[in-house]
Amino acid sequence: MRRFAGCCRFLWNKALALEKENYEAGGKRFGYYALAGKLKEWKKEDDTSFLAEAHAQILQQALKDLDRAYQNFFAKRADFPRFKKKGVHDAFRYPQGFKLDESNSRIFLPKIGWVRYRKSRKTEGTPKQVTVSLSAGTWFVSIQTEREVPHPVHISQSAVGIDMGVACFATLSDGSSIKPLNSFRKYEKKLAKLQRKMAKRVKFSANWQKLKARIQRLHHKIANARNDFLHKTTTAISKNHALVVLEDLKVRNMSRSAAGTLEAPGKNVRAKAALNKSILDQGWFEFRRQLAYKLAWLGGTLLVISPEYTSQTCSQCGCTDKQNRQTQAKFKCTACGFECHADYNAALNILAAGHAVSACGAGRVQAPVLKQEPAYGAAR
């Protein structure tokens, strides 16, 4: 499995280097079919003959991924493709040829054989492709399936607006609130201690490798805790509300560094860095992504509205004034005197804007992700 993942990584880097070299020389992009033809030549060369040991289809999928990465870049959906590093997102994908024996919790992978796995949930539908990936020393198999489902109708008729924050992860317009998990903050000191130890070790030595594995496992634990929190939260919200309204927050811009340049250094850099760390620890984009597809599964809708003035507008009289919110938590209208928690007032404004979108179309609807999430299993 490591050899197969290494072959896919090597092929990606070699094809990307060839594409960049050809572009700098003034040529056109090769594309998938031209690179697939070169793959046949590389398998025959002495320096790259090891590519013939890997399954042909997983190498072709790596070239298809590179071609898709270029298309996403030209469509301004993603950054320019980057070279892959060993040990970072090691994976390979089978589009066909695999066999699934779910009753005995095993799967047949071409050129590898039968492998037992721990089933996380029952597979529904027709298996279409299998992705094998390595994360924190454990191999995972993701089985993507295809099935037809009836058009869902949500059992609830309620609507809710949600205001995202750092001090309070989510404040709902029904008056409830969700405290943040802060999974990274919980293990930040332990992680820093291990990283200081690793910096004193000889690079690539046995002790260095052991500490690196410990750090990877700790990062994996932090990510698992965050994902568990987000999944439980989004599942509860999507089941209880048919319409959910969120602000269209630009997380990348909000978490941008304030360091500045040598000519124009930034201000309050340390405070902004701490805020950026808290924002990224919350997982706001993942929260929105999960809400989108879970509401689509259940027949609900996720609306996204502009975040402008939602925290400065009074939800009772509509007065917009920056003096309405003088502190992070307190909101007091300068016009009508309405007073409440600032996040709750913002959630009410978000819900009202969502109703305007539903009635008049004064905004946009978050496109739901309708495809089924794959079933995961850990290979033994």
Query: How far is Cα 50 from Cα 123, in angstroms, rounded to an integer?
Result: 35
Pick from 322, 283, 1: nearest CA to 131: 1
Query: How far is Cα 109 from Cα 115, in angstroms, rounded to an integer?
Result: 7
Residue 230: strand, helix, or coil:
helix
Q: What b-and-e string marks burial along 99-120, b requiring 16 or more CB atoms within 10 Å of the CB?
A: ebeeeeebbebeeeeebebebe
Is residue 325 within 8 Å of 265, Cβ to Cβ? Answer: no
**φ/ψ (deg, to 5) at 147:** -155, 160
Is residue 90 within 8 Å of 54, Cβ to Cβ? Answer: no
The radius of gyration of the chain's CA atoms, rounded to the nearest angstrom, is: 25
Per-residue DSSP letter, 313: B
Query: How far is Cα 258 from Cα 356, in angstroms, rounded to an integer?
Result: 36
Contacts of 190 (CB under 8 A, 6+ apart): 218
Taking CB atoms within 8 Å and a gap of at least 24, the contacts of 336-341 are 338/314, 341/171
Query: How far is Cα 61 from Cα 83, in angstroms, rounded to an integer?
Result: 16
Q: Which two tokens stand for residue 294?
A: 């879970």
Just list the catalytic residues: 163, 247, 343
Query: How far is Cα 133 from Cα 9, in angstroms, rounded to an integer?
Result: 12
Q: What b-and-e string marks burial along 290-301, b requiring 16 or more CB atoms within 10 Å of the CB?
A: bbbbbbbbbebb
Contacts of 284 (CB under 8 A, 6+ apart): 164, 249, 251
